[in-house]
Structure 1
């Protein structure tokens, strides 16, 4: 029997229901690709904390309604409004709330299953890829696209990217390129690629997993409902590691420009199109995260960088160009990697700023 959870305060955006021992949370903002706002973050935190203490709930499922997206990220139109009207602290407070939610998900005391499908970017990665059991459909479009809008990988994305094989982390952070759900297991953003049939009927399939721990659930789902993952990215690791293993962001760009591999040339074009400050920030962000290998530290670092970047001109300009006016023609300031304040970004990434 389905009971509407008493914790649901905004049913139009977050729907939480209880099915026996299973709690189900659905993002329900399909018209906005389930993009997150403060009300949604607060409600997600409230429900998850309540269910963590509820002995009648053994397992939690997190999904997104609609065919197009699990979650496209934060509502960056709201971010643009905040930073262009002097409400930078509101933006910072929202990020702190979101990062705390992501950490709660990563340390959840019960098996919490996330199912990523469709567009799963930015803040959607924070919800999906830190869960104890991370499921994904093969055709999901995933990534950390922040360098396109003058920002930096956040929601623990730098930690995930830093843990990817070789230097895939720097590549995806600096280029803002996306990858498929089929690639997500190789990159460390998911545990199991599942069939479309299982994804569509997942709630009906979960009863048999109640009572198992997270590792047992992931293993059982892979055996019973797993779909092939992709290893195609391994073919690109050679040139990616060579270019993105360089010691500075500028050297990464220089190596790409001198490589004849077509994919390297495309990556050079992607870096050149992105915010130079963001490209450099992404580099230092991932490198520092790899040194520590700690999600909480990564989230704290990302918030430091966010507090810096929200006052820089590129974030408002990038959102304007990509989301508001959609002319896809941002004017970055500074316009080149050489002009970026690398010392400031390094100190923020390393936590040595004054």
Structure 2
């Protein structure tokens, strides 16, 4: 049984439901059609007793998924961007949430680029596989946006203040760090993926034993490989020292004080922060503070409001322009400095006036996480 969507290919075989992101020319970045197709298929297979296991992967060698298709939002700036954004986010976020609480094992092959929306696809899965080519990031700060797809929840689950650090710097990390932060479960050399995939395809899977048997297969194919030591683990003390503060200004001040004493890591980190949108920095820190005590579904509901308000924000379009359109990497943020971004302005991002007076994600309930 083979069903082909424009950018998603799904196939059911021997009890495995395969979902392939099939847009390699765009690094498998997600558009409305893709998230709708994935969401529908997940819901269909959830009820199908013939499907015991789900596997999600990306076509091509470059990566699982580079994120959401932000260029489309930019192009619609003057012509219906809020309607498109509402359709996109109100489908993507429930799709992400569905993976978090899926009643069957979900395997995600996180080879190559796994960023933004790609993180949203993988973070809630029960079996998350990284390789020597994995490049993981929440890069939204680079385009004047904010880390979404449930980041308010999962970044707060990372050790110490690493979640804040990765959100605010948008730094790219590799497999060892992805494992250290708890957002992946298994390391596999990419040369072994075809063998693992073939073994999964040849096996007859059943609901009763799928979890145990996928655990055994992953152990078998990953036995001979182990990632290098985590860089983030060696930086944990510095990260916690500087990113514990409750305002961006205090974080910057702490880093500057250490940089003035000759610390190159602090100097590089503060320069990275100051290159980002002041508005995005402050919204993101507030988002993570708000998300710390929220359930996952509440985080998605909050992020829906924030995402829609960014569709009215100068810095989002300027960020996309500088990275994806003109590619000059020279954004002109407005306001340009942290001091000019008021608390009232930041608070306004967390309230959005919906046409029917109800956030479309208020229907998300429960917070069951399938565990392997």
Normalised by the size of structure 2, how large is the TM-score? 0.87
Q: CA RMSD in A?
A: 2.1
Please, which of 131, 136, 156 is the counterpart of residue 125 of structure 2?
A: 131
Please, which of 91, 106, 110 is the counterpart of residue 112 of structure 1?
A: 106
| 1:27 correspondence with 2:25 | no
**CA deviation profile, 1:91-132 (whole Å, cap 9, x unmatched):** 122111100100011111111111111111000000011112
C-alpha deviation, 1:346, in angstroms: 4.4
| 1:253 correspondence with 2:252 | yes
C-alpha deviation, 1:216, in angstroms: 6.8
Q: Distance in 1 between matches of 2:212 and 2:280?
A: 36
C-alpha deviation, 1:175, in angstroms: 0.8
**CA deviation profile, 1:58-114 (whole Å, cap 9, x unmatched):** 111110010011100011111111234342132122111100100011111111111
C-alpha deviation, 1:286, in angstroms: 1.6
**CA deviation profile, 1:144-187 (whole Å, cap 9, x unmatched):** 11111110000112322111100001111111111112211111
C-alpha deviation, 1:223, in angstroms: 5.7
Does structure 1 retain, via aligned residues, the 8 Å contact 2:53–2:210? Answer: no
The 5 Å alignment of 1:1-354 reads 3-5=1-3, 8=4, 10=5, 12-206=6-200, 207=203, 211-212=208-209, 214=211, 217-218=214-215, 221-222=218-219, 224-226=221-223, 227-229=225-227, 230-260=229-259, 261-292=263-294, 294-346=295-347
For structure 2, the residue ranges without an aligned partner over 5 or more in a row are 358-372
Q: Distance in 1 between matches of 2:175 and 2:204?
A: 25
Does structure 1 retain, via aligned residues, the 8 Å contact 2:179–2:185? Answer: yes
Structure with bigger RCO (C-alpha 8 Å, 6+ apart): 2
Select between 31-40 and 124-133 the one with higher mean Cα deviation: 124-133
- Secondary structure in structure 2 of the residue aligned to 1:135: strand
Does structure 2 retain, via aligned residues, the 8 Å contact 1:191–1:218? Answer: no
- Secondary structure in structure 2 of the residue aligned to 1:201: helix
C-alpha deviation, 1:48, in angstroms: 1.1
Judged with a 3 Å threshold, the aligned counterparts in structure 2 of structure 1 residues 48 and 190 are, in CA distance, closer, same or farther, namely same
Q: Distance in 2 between matches of 1:219 and 1:161?
A: 29
Select between 165-174 and 208-217 the one with higher mean Cα deviation: 208-217
Q: Distance in 2 between matches of 1:143 and 1:77?
A: 18
- Secondary structure in structure 2 of the residue aligned to 1:151: coil
Q: Distance in 2 between matches of 1:281 and 1:158?
A: 11
Select between 97-106 and 197-206 the one with higher mean Cα deviation: 197-206
**CA deviation profile, 1:214-252 (whole Å, cap 9, x unmatched):** 477347624642532433311101111111001211111
Q: Distance in 2 between matches of 1:112 and 1:250?
A: 41
Does structure 2 retain, via aligned residues, the 8 Å contact 1:192–1:218? Answer: no
Q: Distance in 2 between matches of 1:222 and 1:345?
A: 46
Judged with a 3 Å threshold, the aligned counterparts in structure 2 of structure 1 residues 231 and 216 are, in CA distance, closer, same or farther, namely farther
**CA deviation profile, 1:18-68 (whole Å, cap 9, x unmatched):** 221111110000000001011111111111111111111111111001001
Select between 254-263 and 340-349 the one with higher mean Cα deviation: 340-349
Does structure 1 retain, via aligned residues, the 8 Å contact 2:30–2:117? Answer: yes
Query: Matched residue pairs, number?
Result: 345
C-alpha deviation, 1:343, in angstroms: 3.3
